[in-house]
Structure 1
Amino acid sequence: MSTATPATRFLDKAGIAYDLFEYDYGGGDGPIGLQAAEAIGWQAARVFKTLMLEVDGKPACAVIPSDRSLSMKKVAAALKGKTAKMMEPVKAERLTGFHTGGISPFGQKKRVPVVFDATVISVEAPVVMNGGKRGLMVCLAPEPGIAALAAAVAEVSVV
């Protein structure tokens, strides 16, 4: 499996250190983030999933722990909007250039506002998130990635 993706190229260009984890992406039952955490042997709270959404009709991205759910009310407020809804998978793929199950916050085709759940700062570093391909995860310290994306950090998830 080739590990060069728009996400890894973004991280390389930004000078952000990362390690890669590859696993057999099954795409089976259950949340993809939890499957990834189990496959690589990491705590789900340290494996973050990337969710594409629309805030007041405009595209945005939220990165939250794989064992949590996104609060639409909180994410809308964090991105200075009134309402939020999940983006349709086909639209998310077209906008990001990634397939669902492989969407990374890094290297998306079109830059959109990004918010990381505040737990990304409180969990033990490093953290893991999608590397831009199904079955490919990047492991990195969260702060450089947040800075490179000019992302917000806010409480946007719920248990």
Structure 2
Amino acid sequence: MTAVDAVTAAGIEHRVVRHGPVGSVAEAAAAQGVEVRDLVKTLVVRRSADDYLFVLVPGDRQISWPKLRALLGVSRLSMPDAATAKEATGYERGTITPFGSARPWPVIADERVRGRTISLGAGERGVALQVPADAAVSALGGTYADVTDPEVSRRR
């Protein structure tokens, strides 16, 4: 099942946006006509062997590993390499979405997306799904939590 099929089957109001190639979160937000904070990155996090979860992170923020570890009650988390992430989800990095994933991993959405319309990956390059965050998180059986920090600029 594709991501678009999964969102449709869940009965979630959505808009498919075909925006073509982009090189950054800011470019993707501009191409879709949304604010960077509403472009939500779906990150795959490994708790242990064959145990993953999706973390939905606003485009202007990054995962706070201490907050996420405390929430999950674990001392160690990691991000899988690209091949392992594809195996776990069925999607390539940059296209990952919880909708239509190869396995229905748990979903944690940063609380800052609550009540907003967000743009998620749609399982293929240059395509996004704009959905109401609350409907999406509910349909995925997800939870909201404070699991991010402001994005730190990597420029020097």
Could you say whether these structures have the same fold, taking a TM-score greater than 0.5 normalized by the shorter chain as the test?
yes
Residue 11 of structure 1 pairs with residue 7 of structure 2: yes
Normalising by structure 1, we get a TM-score of 0.86
CA contact (8 A) 2:98 2:104 kept: no
Partner of 1:127: 118
**TM superposition outliers: structure 1 runs of 4+ over 6 Å:** none
CA contact (8 A) 1:37 1:43 kept: yes
Residue 22 of structure 1 pairs with residue 18 of structure 2: yes
Q: CA deviation at 1:56?
A: 4.4
Q: Which amino acid aligns with 1:134?
A: R
Report 1:1-159 matches (<5 A).
6-26=2-22, 28=23, 31=24, 33-57=25-49, 58-121=51-114, 125-159=116-150
Gaps of 5+ in 1: none
Question: Counterpart of 2:56 in 1: which secondary structure?
Answer: strand
CA contact (8 A) 2:114 2:133 kept: yes
Normalising by structure 2, we get a TM-score of 0.87
Decide whether aligned partners of structure 1 residues 97 and 120 sit closer, same or farther in structure 2, where only a CA change above 3 A counts.
same
- Rounded to whole Å, the distance in 2 between the matches of 1:129 and 1:113 is 16
Gaps of 5+ in 2: 151-156
- Rounded to whole Å, the distance in 2 between the matches of 1:127 and 1:136 is 14
What is the RMSD computed on CA atoms of the aligned residues? 1.6
What percent of counterpart residues are identical? 26
- Rounded to whole Å, the distance in 2 between the matches of 1:34 and 1:91 is 26
Decide whether aligned partners of structure 1 residues 56 and 72 sit closer, same or farther in structure 2, where only a CA change above 3 A counts.
farther
